[in-house]
Structure formats: C-alpha cells, structure tokens
A and B are shown apart, each in its own frame.
Chain A
Amino acid sequence: MKLTGISAAVVFCATAAIANPVTPGDVQFDEYGAIQTSLSGTMGDAASGAKIMTSRAKGNCVACHAVTALKDAPFHGEVGPTLDGIADYRTAEELRGIIANAKMTFEGSIMPAFYKTSGFIRAGDGYTGKGAKEEDLTPILTAQEIEDVVAFLMTLKGS
C-alpha cells in the first residue's frame, strides 16, 4: 500500500518535472514566435480541436477566421485570414506559437493570446466585466486544448 503510493507519486513528479504541461509563464518561443515542444506532452486530438475552434466559450476562432471544414458551425468572421490550407505553409511548431501568443509571430496582432496569464491591462473575470487578480487568471485555452487545435489545423491541407 504504502510503497505503491510513493512510487506513483515519484512517477508523477518525474513526468511533471521533465515535461509538462508547460505553464504559460514558462513557454519558450523561438525567434520567429514558434514553440518547438508540445505544451501538454500529449498528442493533440483533431476532433476535439475542431470543437474548440467553434465554441464561443473556448477558442471561438471562427469569430475571426473562415474555415471551410468547419462550415457546419454558423457565422465565420473576416477579421483574420482564412485558415483553409494552413497546414500547407505552417508547421505544427509555428501554429502552436501563433495560438499561444500570436504577437510573438505577428507584432501587434489583433489576434488574442490563448496561453497567456499576465501583462494585461484591466484583466477581467471572464466576461463578467468585473476585475480579476492576475494570479487568478487562467489561460483561455489549456495546454491540451492548444495541442488539439494544432492537430486540427494540421489536417487543413489545400489539395
């Protein structure tokens, strides 16, 4: 009993220490804004990524981007470029970086950072309009949700 408990704890700590999930403050962007390693350490699930992209409470990516493969979810926006065929010219590492914090790739981008918890002006408690303490902020998407979205985007090939 006792031993099993300890070994489980050791295994858990070891995994956490070596890999993941990487906290928003510890994310390493390369000089182009890409993130080389998985944020969660677990493979992304494309089907879940598609749901996150259309859910208002999650990524709501289609608010700004048109994606033909997601046309069942109504109303796609025009604020950002279409993401059709994105996997033809972006790598998973680049996409991960763009979703986590697009401003590291596109200076001053309008696109929100989905894996960031500090450095905001008057951050709110979700969409309540009330203030939130910085230490209470959670990223808009979790590490795994970002991996899921990356996995979905990697399915968007042009031809």
Chain B
Amino acid sequence: MKFKAMTALAALAISAPMLFAGGADDDTLTIDGQEMITKTAAPAHMAETGIDTIMSGWHFREDDTQAMQMDTFDNPGMIAVDQATDAWNTVEGTAEKSCASCHEGPESMGGVRAVYPKWNAEAGEMRTLAMQINNCRTEQMGAEPYKYEKAEMTAMEALISVQSRGMPVNVAIDGPAAEYYEKGKEIYYTRYGQLELSCANCHEDNYGNYIRADHLSQGQINGFPTYRLKNAGLVQTHNRFRGCIRDTRAETFAVGSPEFVALEVYVASRGNGLSVEGPSVRQ
C-alpha cells in the first residue's frame, strides 16, 4: 500500500521536470522570412490527453539544427525538392504523361500536404500522400509505382509538401476517417515490445524530457518528410514510426501497412493547426 501511494508521488515527480527542463524553447521559426505556426492550441479531440498546446518538433532541437531549416539554401532536404521538380516534368509510362501534363506546375499542389492522409470516396480508400502519388503513376500515367520509402517517393512528397509550407495541417477525422482515427489511436496508446512502451509514454507523458541524449518532442509529423542529419537523407513518416517501434524491442509494422496508415491519420490529426514545414531538418 505504502508503495502504491508512492506511485502517485513519483508520477508527480515525473511531470515536474517538464516544467523546469525547459521543454520546448520560445524561438520563432521563419523559413525564408515566412513565419510558421509552431505552437498552437491543441485541437478539440485532444482534450482528454491533457496537452493544451501542440508544438512542432523544431522547438526541441539544438540551435544549429534549427537554423538549417530557416533558410532554403541551408536546408539539405531541398536538394530532393529540386530532383523531384525534374521528375514532375518527366514523361513516364504507357500514357506518355508527366505530373505536369495533368497538374501544370508543382504550385498547383498548394494545400494538398495539409489534408493528407485523406479519404478517397471514389476508391473507398484512405490514402496517404505516397499512396496518392502512386495512384497517379499507375492509373493516370501507366508508370511503375515508386517503392513506398524509396528516394524518388520521398523527394516527390517533399516537393508537394513545400507547396503547402506555412499552411495549417487540417486532417479530417470524421465521417469515413473516423475508423482510421480510432484504430490509429489504439496503436498510439499500445505498449509494444519487450520494453512495453507506447508512443504516448514518450511523446505525451515525457515530451520536453531527455531520454539519454535525445530531447523528446511531441512526435508531430507536420515537418515530414524530414532531413535527418544522422541518416544524411530524407525520411518519411512511416520510417520514423518503424524506428520508434523498433526501439521498444518490438516487431514493427511495415511501411505502407494498414496499421501505419491508420497511425498516420491519428498522429497527423494531433498536429491539426501546426504549419506544414516539410522538408524539416532534424538531428
């Protein structure tokens, strides 16, 4: 009994460091002079989480990493954007079309990243941006799909994300999206692996705290794809999910799996209101 009472005390002790460990910093993120929304009121559906302010992962990074994201020329992820711009205009497949044949310039993609994953009523399918890109390739162009996590796909996502930079994430969770939201939420709170840790244990209960050398963020995905200095390359949302689950000594889900699509719907919706930042820069 004595020790069970201690639990409550210990729990208080855990949340306390969050207040003085500094958590997120108070810097302002501008990219090429345009100010981003990196902290804002949590969306209504997060009321039960106890988080009242949602924050971009940018606030939890070191100053030099932060700085790299503030200027297009310093952001190593922008190289992929240039490469994808070439791909955008390249004719491929049996229909002899390029993205540009149907969509004109990449700027026509403004607002797209902000609302994905998105329900496609015609197909009766929840689509991530990667799934939509591949759908265009196979159905409209008669071209081979990109592999889900290959460089070409990630680059194309980066190009499309840049067109929505600064716009608030606004992923729908009602109607047909509701079941994906619920399934994703269940995954978010499941304590996987031999370490028995859920996404929430690290990114909800402990954001702002250090876990060894890593400063835990809220695990938001508004900055994806993300250029990771550690990998010297762009990584997608599902790669990050997989890495985080692997680190709990668990069997992960596959990139592009129905589980990760649902998790992406849920995690994206926890960022509703934050600016699209992709491609962001992380350590």
Contact = CB atoms under 8 A, between A and B. Distances in A.
Contact of B251 (A32, A77, A131): A131
Interface string B226-266: 00000000000000001001111111100000000000000
B205 interface: yes
Contacts of B209: 77-79
A79 to B, nearest CB: 5
Do most interface residues of chain A lie in helix, strand or loop, or is the interface mixed? loop
Contact of A124 (B3, B21, B249): B249
Given A81-B13, A81-B14, A120-B196, A110 B247 contact: no
Nearest to B208: A78
Nearest to B205: A110
Contacts of B192: 120-122
A112 B21 CA distance: 23
Interface residues of A, number: 39
Interface residues of B, number: 36
A124 B267 CA distance: 23
B246 to A, nearest CB: 4
B47 interface: no
Interface of A: 32-33, 56, 60, 62-64, 74-81, 94, 105-107, 109-110, 112-113, 116, 120-132, 137, 140
A77 B249 contact: no
Most chain B CB neighbours (cut-off 10 Å) among A74, A106, A110, A131: A110
Which of the listed residues B193, B206, B209, B213 has the most CB atoms from chain A within 10 Å of its own CB? B193
A113 B201 CA distance: 15
Contacts of B4: 107
Contacts, number: 103
Contact of A120 (B7, B10, B193, B247): B193
B121 interface: no
Contacts of B246: 124, 127-129
A54 B208 CA distance: 22
Given A32-B2, A106-B3, A126-B249, A75 B196 contact: no
B83 to A, nearest CB: 28
B11 to A, nearest CB: 8
